[in-house]
């Protein structure tokens, strides 16, 4: 008997977060439900078809694929997919437990072992959880009776009467193996998934899995070290028993560690609250500064408004005085009624000066104050950038620098960076980039998170300049942004090709690497003879090699590297007529090359 309580975490599938159902053992030794493997593989196939969209993994409510798993779709796609019309079609499987891409081999799911031991433990757990729920007989007439035993050979449950009827004494069925009532029926003999008619009788120590004799003779385990199943059973059981005994003997130490971890949890809670308070105080200080600046700006605007109002209102009153029977004009009209010359002259002189000024103001009207408040516009662009970069800065985290020599810009951009200091590097980096466009006033950075120190970016426009910058993060601490680096994409789509190892290739004079990406002259007499003729201007002895892909039309960008030790290299584009002359009437090939 095992202690069922407390082992629930070991019985939960990492994909569906439920109890295992027909668990399979992955090559990385982690377990997963048979149904979950299929659903995840089909979800990834849908992602390939949809271009890796995030919404494509929502088709199955049973599984929950993490964002980190979806980020690996492109990498799996580049690694290659083996397709079959009857089974899930990807041989690379993202393990939900270890987050690694596991190669399932050519047989895919069919090559995985079913974990019957784990299945039995799960069934025991279920029975303990539903002890009050009885397992009914499969053969009783309604209403069925409660079963008392289950036959492992028949994969069915029986009450006492039905068991006697279907397993009569003296027959072969009477020899069947029976156990207590259960719903978990497993085969007595474990068969090889690759050779379905063969039972497993050996254990591969390299792959850590059971194999049959055909796997050892001519299969994928031919050169592997194997041992008998009984020896492997004895060895692994002894190791496991010793390890369990050791853990049980260290129970007091484990409890001490648990107590210490509980204290660390409380300490973490207290420290986080303290950090929250300090962060809140820092932001409160910023709020106070902003509130003071805001109040001062609003007061300045209000004061300027009042001064302008006063000037404009005075000007309004002056112009209202120029209306008939009102103000200055009305007063002047009353003065004109004076008949005494001496009194009139005494008053009219000063009045005439005021009338002249009013007349001149009419000829050149100008408001006494400006209505715009352009001088009171607050420029916060720099402050917004500073606040945007506001984070938990650490003096110990080095500023990453983009390595321009290792970075490349072709149809895709390879951006590499490094940290010069000896302090601990960041856990994760954030790479930002944007296209340089003079017409756009605001800049929108595109962001991507990277675990390493390089990133390949695709979907870049041809003949365009891009700015790149990178920032490191270690936990909640981040480094300042690196210096911005500007790089330009080629003026046309990149034309990818390899060297042709068939058309005109002279393997006696030239040596081509297995990937057909580089070629060099073979050392020896032909090379010396060619060098001697080159010195006297004879170019007919040059050895030629062409690309394996022809160009029919369009504008293309291509480039390659010539080593510094090269003696003479001619580079160009060759049409079909020239190919015929160089390679002596070769068959027609798509050209130019």
Alpha-carbon separation of residue 364 from 14, 424, 462, 536 (angstroms): 85, 73, 59, 91
Query: What CATH number corresponds to the domain at position 40?
Result: 3.30.40.10
The answer as to whether 581 is a domain residue is yes
**What is the model's pTM?**
0.40
Q: Are residues 414 and 513 in the same domain?
A: no
Pairing verdict, β 428-435 and 465-474:
antiparallel
Predicted local confidence at residue 87, as pLDDT: 41
| Nearest to 407, CA basis, from 489, 474, 462 | 489
At residue 321, the pLDDT reads 66
Q: What Rg do the C-alpha atoms of the chain give, in angstroms?
A: 43
Hey, what are 499's tokens? 């060297």
Confidence of residue 101 (pLDDT cuts 50, 70, 90): confident
With beta carbons less than 8 A apart as the criterion, state whether 407 and 487 touch: yes
How high is the pLDDT of residue 59? 39
Domain limit, last residue, from 488, 507, 529: 488
Mean of the per-residue pLDDT values for the chain? 79
Does 281 reside within a domain? yes
Whether 213 is in a domain gets the answer: no
Whether residues 412 and 526 share a domain: the answer is no
Asked if residues 58 and 65 have their Cβ atoms less than 8 Å apart, the reply is: no
Q: How many CB atoms sit inside 10 A of residue 205's CB? A: 14
Treating both helix axes as pointing N-terminal to C-terminal, what angle do 327-335 and 251-320 enclose, rounded to 10 degrees? 20
Considering the domain architecture, whether residues 1 and 123 belong to the same structural domain is answered as: yes
Segments forming the whole domain that contains residue 512 = 492-592
User: Does 516 fall in a domain?
Assistant: yes
295 pLDDT tier (thresholds 50, 70, 90): very high
CB atoms within 10 A of CB 103: 12
| 357 lies in the same domain as 236 | yes
Supply the DSSP string of 243-299, one letter for each residue: HHHHHHHTHHHHHHHHHHHHHHHHHHHHHHHHHHHHHHHHHHHHHHHHHHHHHHHHH
Residues 6+ apart with CB under 8 A from 152: 176, 177, 178, 179, 185, 186, 188
The crossing angle, in degrees rounded to 10, of helices 341-363 and 327-335 is: 150
Residue 392 falls inside a structural domain:
no
Q: What is the pLDDT of residues 370-380, one digit of tens each?
A: 888 888 888 88
Question: Does 497 share its domain with 480?
Answer: no
Same-domain check for residues 350 and 464: no
Give the Cβ contact number of residue 165 at 10 Å: 11
For residue 226, the Cα-to-chain-centroid distance in whole angstroms is 40
Q: Which of 250-254, 502-506, 515-519 has the lowest mean pLDDT?
A: 502-506
Least confident of 44-58, 310-324, 524-538: 44-58
Do 353 and 286 lie in a common domain? yes
Q: How would you label 286-325 residue by residue, b for 16+ Cβ within 10 Å and e otherwise?
A: eeeeeeeeeeeeeeeeeeeeeebeeeeeebeebeebbeee
Indicate if 346 and 261 belong to the same structural domain. Answer: yes
- Chosen domain end from 488, 505, 535: 488
Which of the 8 DSSP states describes residue 494? B
- Structure confidence by residue, pLDDT tens digits, 116-170: 888 888 887 777 665 556 778 888 888 888 888 888 888 888 888 888 888 888 7
Lowest mean pLDDT among 187-191, 449-453, 504-508: 187-191
How far apart CA 179 and CA 148 sit, in angstroms, is: 9
Q: What is the largest CA-CA distance in the chain?
A: 159
Q: Hunting for tokens 């003729």 — which residue is that? A: 533
User: Does residue 277 fall inside a structural domain?
Assistant: yes
Domain of residue 467, CATH code:
2.60.40.10
Task: Please answer whether residues 499 and 545 qualify as being in contact, where contact means their C-beta atoms are separated by less than 8 angstroms.
Answer: yes
Is there a domain that residue 170 lies in?
Answer: no
CA 309, 315, 316, 318 dihedral sign is positive
Same domain, 473 and 499: no
Query: For residue 564, how many other CB atoms are within 10 A of its CB?
Result: 5
Q: Does residue 538 share a domain with residue 416?
A: no
Residue range 48-58: mean pLDDT, rounded: 43
Last residue of a domain, one of 78, 100, 132: 132
d(CA 64, CA 79): 24
**347 and 280 part of one domain:** yes
Between 219-228, 268-277, 290-299, the lowest mean confidence (pLDDT) is in 219-228
Number of domains in the chain: 4
Residue 218 falls within a domain, yes or no?
A: no
- pLDDT value at 76 more than 60: no
Residues 246-260 pLDDT 10s: 888 888 888 899 999
Is residue 94 located within the same domain as residue 11?
Answer: yes
């Amino acid at each position: 008997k095992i202690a069922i309580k407390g082992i629930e975490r070991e019985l939960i599938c990492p994909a569906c977060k439920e109890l295992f159902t027909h668990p399979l053992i992955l090559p990385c030794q982690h377990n997963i439900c048979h149904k979950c493997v299929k659903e995840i593989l089909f979800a990834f196939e849908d992602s390939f078809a949809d271009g890796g969209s995030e919404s494509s993994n929502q088709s199955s409510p049973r599984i929950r694929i993490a964002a980190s798993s979806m980020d690996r779709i492109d990498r799996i796609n580049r690694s290659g997919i083996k397709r079959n019309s009857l089974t899930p079609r990807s041989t690379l499987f993202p393990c939900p437990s270890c987050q690694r891409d596991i190669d399932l081999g050519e047989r895919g799911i069919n090559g995985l072992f079913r974990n019957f031991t784990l299945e039995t433990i799960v069934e025991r757990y279920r029975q303990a959880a539903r002890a009050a729920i009885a397992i009914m007989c499969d053969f009783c007439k309604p209403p069925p009776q409660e079963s008392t035993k289950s036959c492992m050979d028949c994969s069915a449950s029986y009450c006492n009467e039905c068991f006697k009827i279907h397993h009569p004494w003296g027959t072969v069925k009477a020899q069947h193996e029976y156990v207590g009532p259960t719903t978990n029926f497993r085969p007595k003999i474990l068969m090889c998934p690759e050779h379905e008619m063969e039972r497993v009788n050996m254990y591969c120590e390299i792959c850590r899995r059971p194999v049959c004799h055909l796997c050892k003779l001519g299969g994928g385990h031919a050169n592997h070290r194997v041992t008998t199943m009984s020896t492997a059973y004895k060895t692994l059981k002894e190791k496991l028993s010793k390890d369990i005994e050791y853990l049980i003997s260290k129970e007091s130490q484990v409890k001490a560690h648990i107590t210490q971890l509980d204290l660390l949890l409380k300490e973490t809670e207290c420290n986080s609250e303290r950090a929250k308070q300090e962060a809140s105080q820092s932001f409160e200080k910023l709020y106070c500064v902003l509130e003071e600046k805001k109040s001062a700006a609003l007061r300045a605007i209000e004061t300027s408004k009042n001064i302008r109002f006063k000037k404009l209102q005075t000007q309004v009153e002056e112009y209202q005085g120029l209306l008939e029977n009102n103000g200055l004009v009305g007063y002047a009209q009353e003065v004109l009624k004076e008949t005494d010359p001496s009194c009139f002259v005494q008053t009219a002189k000063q009045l005439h000066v005021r009338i002249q000024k009013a007349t001149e103001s009419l000829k050149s009207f100008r408001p006494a104050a400006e209505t715009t408040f352009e001088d009171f516009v607050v420029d916060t662009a720099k402050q917004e950038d500073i606040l945007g970069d506001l984070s938990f800065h650490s003096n110990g985290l080095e500023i990453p620098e983009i390595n321009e020599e290792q970075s490349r810009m072709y149809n895709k951009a390879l951006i590499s960076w490094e940290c010069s200091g000896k302090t601990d590097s960041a856990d994760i980096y954030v790479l930002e980039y944007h296209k340089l466009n003079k017409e756009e006033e605001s800049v929108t950075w595109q962001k991507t998170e990277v675990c390493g120190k390089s990133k390949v970016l695709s979907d870049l426009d041809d003949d365009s300049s891009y700015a790149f910058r990178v920032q490191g993060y270690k936990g909640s601490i981040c480094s300042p942004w690196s210096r911005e680096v500007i790089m330009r994409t080629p003026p046309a789509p990149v034309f990818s090709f390899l060297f042709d190892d068939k058309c005109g290739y002279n393997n006696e004079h030239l040596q081509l690497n297995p990937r057909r990406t580089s070629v060099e002259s073979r050392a020896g007499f032909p090379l010396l003879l060619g060098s001697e003729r080159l010195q006297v201007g004879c170019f007919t002895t040059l050895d030629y090699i062409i690309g394996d892909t022809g160009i029919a039309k369009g504008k293309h960008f291509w480039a390659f590297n010539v080593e510094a030790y090269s003696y003479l290299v001619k580079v160009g584009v060759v049409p079909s007529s020239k190919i015929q002359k160089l390679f002596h009437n070769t068959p027609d090939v798509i050209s130019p090359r």
